[in-house]
Structure 1
């Protein structure tokens, strides 16, 4: 069993916000080669004239900076629990850092449960952060911002949660969310109550809620990248009892049915919007 969460342990989970990608003029992502706790950096300019898009569950904490010169701001954003409308300023440029699923940085002056479905000003919850916030906002390129954040994080504590939570997070990600809480009890040797108490203390979620987020991300990733895919096979592969259950859950977490989502991905050429650098 893993003793701590690293990017290696959640490597099969590609935590994305697909509606952000589809709403952007272009979306850049960068996976750092040597940072064990960061899923990826990203950058985009909101093209939607209304600035409205949808956030879906991912089990992640994000640092998000609006780098517009007139009203710049840095935020710390927790995961949502179901599909939720969010608003960006049209044509503003955004830069973000997404930590791996289940990782809550120690340097945040806020508890893990307080982050769920909330966002806080970066300078309010990170000590001595005004300078780095200003640097990131003033930087001239995506990769320059990446280097600034890498240098900032190198000076911060980034310990994983407890060994128990780390083991369970790694197991859930390994199974791509296709696992039940009773399976986790057998795997860990701890009761549901103990798992829930430790999980909520460490990452602000119950194991069941984290499973839903990871299973949601697994479903979305499959639809984004597989040309030949039947929803019945996808539902079965993710452990749903039947296709109807999968359809209801997907719509609750992603905002639309799998078919409508697939049509949006193909119509708006998702992979062409997403540039990895």
Structure 2
């Protein structure tokens, strides 16, 4: 499951509904603490759609996957509702290709196909209602992808990478897919905007992040081995590029913030 822990670290109360259906990982909502309005997005291979509510004003944006940590600006007094999709999933009511959103933040008005869906999400006041509306939309809208065979091919590559938690080697992937590594890289990169290796790195990092967030007693050297890194140094280098922190400093921040107590499951 793709997680963005710095969103929760920016607030005292983080509402979440874990969905795991129809390509949706979770929906979430929070209001940032005035002293923590600069938060960090990290690699997850996923797209978020986020609504920003303030008094009678509503703005919405599509946030694509990032290759390394980046700063996200939020504002005090604003309420944010977000939808996180599974890694590699572009919702069918969004116009474009997955590659169009990599390392980009795009206004939702510029790319949404279904205006009524946007209005329904804005007018609903409960997370459960918004989640149900989204699930219906994911089933209702037909994927407009013209090259169905290519989409199925890329989806299969994504499934192998996610199943391995980002640890599958490219030669192993080629053996499973029965295509050359060059062909897989070409087709995947054309569709996704990132290479299979980059996508694998994001998925492996997410596994590392999850282990540190929820399994805090594990030793770093054991964590590196568990998550498929060559050694602890390799894990630390990638983790720091992805978060701006070393694994140890990140774990200390999680512990000191009483991270788990922030969550309210809806």
Question: Are the equivalent residues in 2 in contact too, given 1:112–1:202 (CA < 8 A)?
Answer: yes
Question: 1:157 maps to which residue?
Answer: 142
1:195-274 equivalences in 2 (<5 Å): 195-274=184-263
Does 2:39 align with 1:22? no
Question: 2:61 maps to which residue?
Answer: 75
CA distance in 2, matches of 1:99, 1:51: 23
CA distance in 1, matches of 2:118, 2:54: 13
Question: 1:143 maps to which residue?
Answer: 128
| Aligned equivalent of 2:170, options 178, 181, 188 | 181
CA distance in 2, matches of 1:84, 1:26: 22
Which deviates more from structure 2 when the two are superposed, residues 67-76 or residues 202-211? 67-76
Which deviates more from structure 2 when the two are superposed, residues 110-119 or residues 52-61? 110-119
Question: Are the equivalent residues in 2 in contact too, given 1:104–1:112 (CA < 8 A)?
Answer: yes
| Aligned equivalent of 2:159, options 158, 163, 170 | 170
Change (3 A) 1:71 1:173: same
Change (3 A) 1:182 1:19: same
Question: Are the equivalent residues in 2 in contact too, given 1:67–1:138 (CA < 8 A)?
Answer: no
Aligned residues: 262
Can you list the C-alpha shifts for 1:30-50, whole angstroms capped at 9, x where unaligned? 1236x3311111111111435
Tell me by how many angstroms 1:177 deviates.
1.2
CA distance in 1, matches of 2:46, 2:3: 10
Tell me by how many angstroms 1:163 deviates.
2.4
Question: Are the equivalent residues in 1 in contact too, given 2:93–2:137 (CA < 8 A)?
Answer: no
Which deviates more from structure 2 when the two are superposed, residues 56-65 or residues 170-179? 170-179
SS class of match (2:184): helix
Question: Are the equivalent residues in 1 in contact too, given 2:31–2:78 (CA < 8 A)?
Answer: yes
Can you list the C-alpha shifts for 1:124-177, whole angstroms capped at 9, x where unaligned? 101241x43233233322223223333433431258972222222111111111
Q: Report the TM-score, using the length of structure 1 for normalisation.
A: 0.88
Q: Report the TM-score, using the length of structure 2 for normalisation.
A: 0.91
SS class of match (1:236): helix
Tell me by how many angstroms 1:222 deviates.
0.3
Question: 1:127 maps to which residue?
Answer: 113
Question: Are the equivalent residues in 2 in contact too, given 1:74–1:133 (CA < 8 A)?
Answer: no
Question: Are the equivalent residues in 2 in contact too, given 1:68–1:137 (CA < 8 A)?
Answer: no
CA distance in 2, matches of 1:48, 1:189: 53
Which deviates more from structure 2 when the two are superposed, residues 214-223 or residues 35-44? 35-44
| Aligned equivalent of 2:18, options 31, 44, 47 | 31
CA RMSD of aligned residues (A): 1.9
Does 2:102 align with 1:116? yes
Tell me by how many angstroms 1:231 deviates.
0.7
CA distance in 2, matches of 1:164, 1:138: 38
Question: 1:10 maps to which residue?
Answer: none
